[in-house]
């Protein structure tokens, strides 16, 4: 059987180990071919090929449920669930999603773009199953990086309290999230990984003793012998109420199938610890597991990305990392915090240059935020650098631990706005809206990478909670400085262009498009004043209100959700000050932005300069003729 013939995972049933190994190689070949051509996550999926095939050999996917945590390791799952022929469209507009998607396949049982959710979701399914009196298996496949998240530990705590609720947790342990894992839990898993698998011996002890007459003394002996048979291996999971099995070689199909079959026989929660290698089967990815977690299109033979046709300006993340490092080298109070995203945020630069002032908390955004609050309380300058989409996970800590106490924590939000092919779970759409609602928080966004440098200095100098959002990707090529940056006055905007027909207030990444839009409107005889707002909170009312009154027509532009966003802030300001002028808000409406390139998404949303000019024209022309 060829991989292209598999449209239902149950077709794997009955295949020999040798036949499954052939399928495994075909999965790796297709995976590599696709990601090399169009880009995407590489290492995670390559590492779970045998795990996926071995697990699905023991499940009936017409009824059993599997939750993957996170979904980017589920490419092998996609390839055996009817998506082989469309797999070349991975992460492209109208193509296969890079994560699990309930709308994409009946075999995607739960969408997951953020880590640590699988055990909670699978346990919920198991409780629903039991409540309905039905009989099917519920499985959570969770990476060891995801296990550092508090939500996963909360779910383990709950599941361990339900000894009759059948739940299988498969721990995919490759010692990595994106970068190497940190903390006590990964260290404990490493000790387990280096120990021999002993669960079957402990079962054998139990089998030999089960016919002995019951007494409290014998029961204690029995439990003691079981613990002796499993010295330290999985003891923490056993104490938490799970039956522990492993560690299992995650690339040995025969061992995997045997272990999963055994796990299904147990009553109550079971944890199967599977040891895998990220990037397995592609030597280049095996050697560079951080770099090949995900890749842009590349040459399979060399592993090198295609050379760019022309040099590009540095990314916002790189400018951020370099500038913050320079500042920290001269100020020991600056502490950079990441939640397992050093490479994505530019803090890998900081880690190399100022290692003593760098903190990686693992996938634990809530902890990161309150840790920052504690650092700020005691006189340090914490810089919590988190993707916009992941900051949502610590909203309570922002309110309760930072803003209520007015602590000087500096939040730096990478990937704010439209992020492209990762899709709805990763779009940085909501931070303006949800942070604007919190008292004591200042919000700012740079128009380019040079202004980002000044905002970094501004945020570090501010004595209270403050946030800077900036987009994914390259800057505009603005002239950068190596030192001597000046702070910006809080809440003060910058006028970039003068005109009497229209006032455009643009925030962050929409400032340059606003200038292009104004140039297009100029061709129609419309002269625009363009303001770089710089701050969404507080707004520069001293500048905005007189301009709005004099010009009489206002447009706002933002790369974020319109409900509650920057445009809403301007609308509230105008209404509260009785300035009743026409207002048009341009941004992301109340929709999910699906995976596509950022340019494709902006076109679909009507956010290109040409489209924005076309939307603005009727507003100005109606006023010109007195309508």
- Taking only the tens place, the pLDDT of each residue in 33-80 is 988 888 888 888 899 999 999 999 999 999 999 999 887 889 999 999
At residue 625's C-alpha, the angle toward residues 620 and 627, to 5°, is 80
Q: What is the pLDDT of residue 231?
A: 44
Question: How many angstroms separate the CA atoms of 394 and 295, rounded?
Answer: 28
Mean local confidence (pLDDT), 561-584? 97
Instruction: Enumerate the H helices of 133-251 as residue ranges.
Output: 150-159, 184-193, 199-209, 216-229, 235-239
Task: Tell whether the model's pLDDT for residue 488 goes beyond 70.
Answer: yes
Mean local confidence (pLDDT), 315-325? 98
Task: Tell whether the model's pLDDT for residue 219 goes beyond 60.
Answer: no
Task: Tell whether the model's pLDDT for residue 387 goes beyond 70.
Answer: yes
Q: Which two tokens stand for residue 624?
A: 């010109």
State the catalytic residue, choosing from 30, 83, 129, 278: 278
Residues 589 and 518 in one domain: yes
Residues 280 and 144 in one domain: yes
Residues 284 and 432 in one domain: no
Task: Tell whether the model's pLDDT for residue 7 goes beyond 50.
Answer: yes
Q: Distances in Å between the alpha carbon of 541 and those of 30, 455, 468? A: 56, 20, 20
- Which of 167-171, 236-240, 316-320, 491-495 is the least confident region? 236-240
Q: Which two tokens stand for residue 568?
A: 């809403």
The CATH number that applies at residue 498 is 3.40.50.920
The pLDDT tens digits of the residues spanning 602-619 come to: 999 999 999 999 999 999
Per-residue confidence band for 228, with pLDDT thresholds at 50, 70 and 90: very low
Per-residue confidence band for 146, with pLDDT thresholds at 50, 70 and 90: confident
Q: CB burial class (10 A; 0-12, 13-18, 19+) of residue 220?
A: exposed
Per-residue confidence band for 186, with pLDDT thresholds at 50, 70 and 90: low
Mean local confidence (pLDDT), 515-521? 98
Task: Tell whether the model's pLDDT for residue 428 goes beyond 80.
Answer: yes
Q: Is residue 299 part of a domain?
A: no
Residues 242 and 357 in one domain: no
Residues 449 and 528 in one domain: no
The CATH number that applies at residue 68 is 3.40.50.970
- Which of 119-133, 175-189, 418-432, 496-510 is the least confident region? 175-189
Q: Between 192 and 239, name the one with better pLDDT.
A: 239
Mean local confidence (pLDDT), 486-508? 98
Q: Is residue 216 part of a domain?
A: no
Q: Is residue 453 part of a domain?
A: yes
- Which of 93-102, 169-178, 179-188, 396-405 is the least confident region? 179-188
Mean local confidence (pLDDT), 383-397? 97
The pLDDT tens digits of the residues spanning 239-253 come to: 999 999 988 999 999
- Percent of the chain whose pLDDT exceeds 90: 73
Q: CB burial class (10 A; 0-12, 13-18, 19+) of residue 292?
A: buried
Q: What is the pLDDT of residue 226?
A: 45
Residues 33 and 130 in one domain: yes
Clarify whether 278 is annotated catalytic.
yes
Report the DSSP beta bridge partners of residue 334.
Answer: 381
Contact at 8 Å (CB) between 424 and 590? no
Question: Angle, to 10 degrees, between the axis of helix 49-57 and the axis of helix 253-265?
Answer: 40
Task: Tell whether the model's pLDDT for residue 549 goes beyond 70.
Answer: yes
Q: What is the pLDDT of residue 159?
A: 96
Task: Tell whether the model's pLDDT for residue 624 goes beyond 70.
Answer: no
Mean local confidence (pLDDT), 563-581? 97
Q: What is the pLDDT of residue 55?
A: 97
Containing structural domain, residue 532: 494-624
Task: Tell whether the model's pLDDT for residue 202 goes beyond 60.
Answer: no
Mean local confidence (pLDDT), 210-219? 54
Per-residue confidence band for 177, with pLDDT thresholds at 50, 70 and 90: low
Of the residues 469, 504, 519, which one is the last residue of a structural domain? 469
Q: Is residue 480 part of a domain?
A: no
Clarify whether 164 is annotated catalytic.
no
Task: Tell whether the model's pLDDT for residue 430 goes beyond 70.
Answer: yes
Q: Is residue 226 part of a domain?
A: no
Which of 594, 423, 590, 561 lies closest to 70 in space, CA to CA? 423
Q: Between 310 and 146, name the one with better pLDDT.
A: 146
Q: Is residue 223 part of a domain?
A: no
Q: What is the pLDDT of residue 232?
A: 52
Task: Tell whether the model's pLDDT for residue 460 goes beyond 60.
Answer: yes
The kind and range of the H/E element at 32 are helix 17-38
Q: What is the pLDDT of residue 211?
A: 57
Mean local confidence (pLDDT), 394-407? 98
Q: What is the pLDDT of residue 176?
A: 57
Residues 175 and 51 in one domain: yes
Question: Angle, to 10 degrees, between the axis of helix 541-551 and the axis of helix 566-576?
Answer: 70
Q: What is the pLDDT of residue 212?
A: 53
The pLDDT tens digits of the residues spanning 334-356 come to: 999 999 999 999 999 999 999 99
Question: How many angstroms separate the CA atoms of 560 and 578, rounded?
Answer: 26
pTM of the model: 0.87
Mean local confidence (pLDDT), 581-600? 96
Q: In the chain, what is the greatest distance between 2 CA atoms, to the nearest angstrom?
A: 99
Q: Which two tokens stand for residue 233?
A: 């291996």
Task: Tell whether the model's pLDDT for residue 210 goes beyond 60.
Answer: no
Q: Between 593 and 224, name the one with better pLDDT.
A: 593
Report the SS3 class of residue 392.
helix
Report the SS3 class of residue 202.
helix
State the catalytic residue, choosing from 365, 449, 451, 559: 365
Residues 462 and 510 in one domain: no
Clarify whether 365 is annotated catalytic.
yes
Residues 544 and 604 in one domain: yes
- Which of 301-315, 316-330, 401-415 is the least confident region? 301-315
- Which of 275-279, 482-486, 541-545 is the least confident region? 275-279
Contact at 8 Å (CB) between 471 and 559? yes
Q: What is the pLDDT of residue 294?
A: 73
Q: Is residue 222 part of a domain?
A: no
Q: What is the pLDDT of residue 438?
A: 98
Q: Is residue 227 part of a domain?
A: no
Q: How many domains does the chain have?
A: 3
Residues 281 and 328 in one domain: no
Residues 418 and 526 in one domain: no
Q: In sequence order, what DSSP letters do the residues of 424-476 get, joined into one string?
A: TTT-B-SHHHHHHTSTT-EEE--SSHHHHHHHHHHHHH-SS-EEEE--SSB--
Q: What is the pLDDT of residue 227?
A: 42
State the catalytic residue, choosing from 65, 78, 393, 553: 393
At residue 509's C-alpha, the angle toward residues 507 and 515, to 5°, is 75
φ, ψ dihedrals at 561, nearest 5° = -70, 140
Q: What is the pLDDT of residue 563?
A: 97
Question: How many angstroms separate the CA atoms of 454 and 275, rounded?
Answer: 46
Residues 258 and 331 in one domain: no
């Amino acid at each position: 059987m060829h991989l292209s013939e598999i449209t239902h995972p149950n077709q794997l049933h009955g295949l020999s180990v040798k036949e499954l190994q052939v399928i495994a190689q075909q999965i790796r070949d297709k995976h590599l071919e696709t990601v090399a051509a169009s880009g995407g996550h590489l290492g995670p999926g390559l590492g779970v090929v045998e795990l996926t095939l071995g697990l699905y050999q023991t499940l009936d996917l017409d009824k059993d449920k599997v939750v993957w945590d996170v979904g980017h390791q589920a490419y092998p799952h996609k390839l055996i669930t009817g998506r082989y022929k469309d797999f070349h469209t991975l992460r492209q507009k109208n193509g296969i999603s890079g994560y699990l998607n309930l709308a994409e396949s009946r075999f995607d049982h739960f969408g997951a773009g953020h880590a640590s959710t699988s055990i909670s979701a699978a346990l919920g399914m198991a409780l629903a199953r039991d409540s309905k009196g039905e009989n099917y298996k519920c499985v959570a496949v969770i990476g060891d990086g995801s296990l550092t998240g508090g939500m996963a530990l909360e779910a383990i705590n709950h599941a361990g309290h339900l000894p009759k609720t059948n739940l299988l947790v498969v721990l995919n342990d490759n010692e990595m999230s994106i970068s190497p894992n940190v903390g006590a839990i990964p260290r404990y898993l490493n000790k387990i990984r280096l120990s021999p698998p002993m669960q079957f011996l402990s079962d054998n002890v139990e089998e030999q003793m089960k016919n002995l007459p019951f007494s409290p003394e014998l029961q204690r002996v029995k439990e003691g012998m079981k613990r002796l048979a499993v010295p330290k291996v999985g003891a923490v999971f056993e104490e938490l109420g799970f039956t522990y099995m492993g560690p299992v070689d995650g690339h040995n199909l025969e061992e995997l199938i045997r272990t999963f079959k055994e796990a299904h026989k147990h009553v109550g929660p079971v944890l199967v610890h599977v040891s895998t290698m990220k990037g397995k089967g592609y030597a280049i990815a095996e050697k560079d597991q951080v770099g090949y977690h995900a890749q842009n299109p590349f040459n399979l033979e060399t592993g090198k990305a295609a050379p760019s046709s022309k040099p590009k300006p540095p990314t916002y993340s790189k400018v951020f990392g370099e500038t913050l490092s320079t500042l920290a080298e001269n100020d020991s109070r600056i502490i950079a915090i990441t939640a397992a995203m050093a490479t994505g945020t530019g803090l890998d630069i900081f880690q190399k240059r100022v290692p003593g002032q760098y903190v990686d908390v693992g996938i634990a955004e809530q902890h990161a935020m309150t840790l920052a609050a504690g650092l700020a309380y005691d006189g340090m300058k914490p810089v919590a650098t988190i993707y916009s989409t992941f900051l949502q996970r610590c909203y309570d800590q922002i309110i309760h631990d930072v803003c209520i106490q007015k602590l000087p924590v500096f939040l730096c939000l990478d990937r704010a706005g439209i992020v492209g092919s990762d899709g709805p779970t990763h779009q940085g759409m909501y931070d303006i809206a949800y942070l604007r609602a919190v008292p004591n928080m200042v919000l700012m966004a740079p128009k380019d990478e040079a202004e980002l440098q000044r905002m970094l200095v501004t945020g570090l100098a501010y004595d209270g909670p403050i946030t800077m959002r900036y987009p994914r990707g390259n800057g505009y090529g603005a002239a950068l400085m190596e030192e001597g940056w000046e702070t910006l006055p809080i809440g003060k905007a910058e006028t970039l262009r003068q005109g009497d027909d229209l006032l455009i207030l643009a925030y962050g990444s929409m400032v340059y498009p606003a200038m292009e839009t104004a140039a297009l409107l100029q061709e129609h005889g419309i002269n625009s004043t363009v303001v770089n707002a710089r701050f969404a909170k507080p707004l520069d009312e001293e500048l905005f209100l007189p301009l709005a009154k004099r010009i009489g027509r206002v447009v706002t532009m933002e790369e974020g959700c319109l409900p509650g966003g920057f445009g809403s802030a301007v609308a509230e300001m105008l209404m509260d000050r009785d300035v009743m002028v026409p207002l048009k808000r341009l941004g992301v409406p109340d929709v999910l932005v699906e995976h596509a390139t950022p340019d494709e998404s902006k076109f679909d949303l009507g956010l290109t300069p040409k489209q924005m000019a076309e939307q603005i024209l009727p507003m100005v022309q109606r006023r010109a003729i007195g309508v």
